[in-house]
Amino acid sequence: MDLQLPDYTRILIEKIPYVELRFVLLQRAQEFYSNYAKKVGFVTRTRNTNFDKIRKKSRIPINQSIHCNREGYQESQVKAASRVKKITTARCRSRMYVMFDRQKDNWMVSKLELKHTHPCSAKQAVYYHEYRELNMHAKCVILDNDEVGIWTNKTYVALANEVSGSSNLGYSEKDVRNYTTRNMRLDVDAANKFRSALWVDAKCKASYEYYGDVVSFDTTYSRNKHGLPFASFVGVNHHGKSTLIECALLGNEEICSFE
């Protein structure tokens, strides 16, 4: 089986693990190896943790192994009659063992394998669910841009340009879009009272691009079962027929709701 070392050209030497590397806490060792894995382009998994046999009740760990998640071999759970082929991993042997040194009261890397049986790419790390996370700067930019009506894809491009490419971001365009949907379109206020809800889909956006020269806006007062004003934005297509561009439910008819 071919083993290959990852590309270390973009990793500082002090960020690469080595035997006898020490940590104050087990958590620090886990974080160090996880950060290393992210820079290399693979995902870690804690495989084995052994505990102190003398003090069983206290559950004090004394050693642990952290592996590449593409280790081993796994069969499909689908019944044999309907199974087309088995699901296999890369049987990767890359891993780091750490043990507690009682004399020095810290954790030490006791065994290490850095080679993988599969290609690793730091550029692909953004697609791993474990590493996708919006930082505070990104959240602020998304919030500011959304308030002035800048589309999500343009926000994502701007964030990517700041770090010289999307491969250097710790998240994808879908994460930006999900954050916008989840956090910017809330329809309740701080008192958990309904505020407003705006609805628009891809078809509506396309209709606005084509038929947005003249748009009519109208509200119907308390015509739904919730007793809320309903607002619609309507354009006219090339057949002379009305086409819905977007609609909303308003908590009230105050100026802030219409804004």
Question: For 121-157, how does the pLDDT look when each residue is reduced to its tens digit (9 = 90+)?
Answer: 777 766 677 777 788 888 888 888 887 888 888 999 9
Indicate the pTM of the whole model.
0.54
Query: What percent of the chain lies above the pLDDT cut of 90?
Result: 20
Average pLDDT in the 229-246 region? 86
Residue 76 has pLDDT above 50, yes or no: no
The model's pLDDT over 9-64, given as tens digits with 9 standing for 90+, comes to 778 888 899 999 999 999 999 999 988 998 888 888 888 899 887 776 667 899 99
pLDDT at position 143 is: 82
Cα–Cα–Cα angle for 53, 56, 58, rounded to 5 degrees = 130
Phi, psi of 201 (to 5 degrees): -120, -175
Average pLDDT in the 107-128 region? 84
Confidence of residue 113 (pLDDT cuts 50, 70, 90): very high
Confidence of residue 95 (pLDDT cuts 50, 70, 90): very high
CA–centroid distance for 246 within its chain: 29
Average pLDDT in the 237-244 region? 86
Contacts of 158 (CB under 8 A, 6+ apart): 141, 145
Beta bridge partners of residue 249, listed in sequence order:
197, 230
Q: How many CB atoms lie within 10 A of CB 110?
A: 16
Distance, in Å, from the CA atom of 171 to the CA atom of 134, rounded to the nearest integer, reads 6
Confidence of residue 168 (pLDDT cuts 50, 70, 90): confident
